[in-house]
Amino acid sequence: MSSVEATIEAAKRLAAFTAIDTHFPKDAKVVGIGSGSTVIYCVERIVQKKAAGEIPADVVYIPTGFQSKELIINGGLQLGAVDGYPVIDVAFDGADEVDPALNCIKGGGACLFQEKLVAICAKKFVLVADFRKNSTALGTQWLQGVPIEVVPTAHAKVRQDLLAMGAKTVTLRLGGKAKAGPVITDNCNVIIDAHFGEIADPSTLAREIKLLVGVVDVGLFINMAAASYFGNEDGTVTAKFSNGDVKTIQ
């Protein structure tokens, strides 16, 4: 691992540990676990705290896809499912880019639909990320585009729709060397990445994309997060809250 990669991993870990230490309720019953490389550290912290008796042993954990299901099982935690537990105390998840209002782009790992389902069922939704995701405007740092989950038969039609809406690039996400053809999501759909440049009005864009026939959901999470924790290069954590407060944690 290069020193740049090591700094990024340390930042992710710090953000995740701080978020769990701050927002995991002492009386939690049901907790959502997001997807991606940062959430791995959330689970690491939960496992540590459970072993230390600092969090209840009987919490049910709700995954947002295949990866987080494996994290929960391998961590020896109790696995639930969102259709059995539609009320979640708190959900922790990663993000690809977060703006000052805590609106974010998600779905870089193709997990956006189940992530949004778990987030909307959660009384509190907390983001964990490294410094690269802390942005002033969506679409300025995450340049591969807004991930959009689409029913496979609709991909060509939705790509046309997105171009007509002003997208600069519209790409069907492919499996690369590991798979000929498109990435298939945990819900058996495909992902289209649509880059719109700087997104002036994320809420309107999210609504317009969601209304396209064939779209299952959009990786724009609007007004959902209560707090976002960013691990920084210097070992501090920047915490941002939905009321606009910003705190640096040493």
Ligand X SMILES: O=C[C@H](O)[C@H](O)[C@H](O)COP(=O)(O)O
Residue 115 annotated to the active site:
yes
**DSSP letter assigned to residue 143:** T
Residue nearest to ligand X (CB): 36
Whole-angstrom Cα distance, residue 57 to residue 231? 28
What are residue 220's phi and psi, to 5 degrees?
-115, 115
The catalytically annotated residue of 70, 115, 149, 208 is: 115
DSSP line for 7-41: HHHHHHHHHHHHHHHHHS-TT-SEEEE--STTHHH
Nearer to ligand X, 115 or 217 (CB): 115
Cβ 224 to ligand X shortest distance, Å:
12
Shortest Å, Cβ 31 to ligand X = 16
Cross-strand bridge partners of residue 88: 122
d(CA 187, CA 150): 10
In angstroms, give the least distance from the CB of 56 to ligand X: 25
Question: Which C-beta is closer to ligand X: that of 29 or that of 226?
Answer: 226
Chain contacts with ligand X (rule: CB under 6 A) = 34-38, 93-96, 106-112, 115
**Nearer to ligand X among residue 149 and residue 161 (C-beta):** 149
Minimum CB separation of residue 57 from ligand X in Å reads: 27
The structure tokens listed for 242 are: 């939905």
Nearer to ligand X, 56 or 174 (CB): 174
The set of catalytic residues is 115
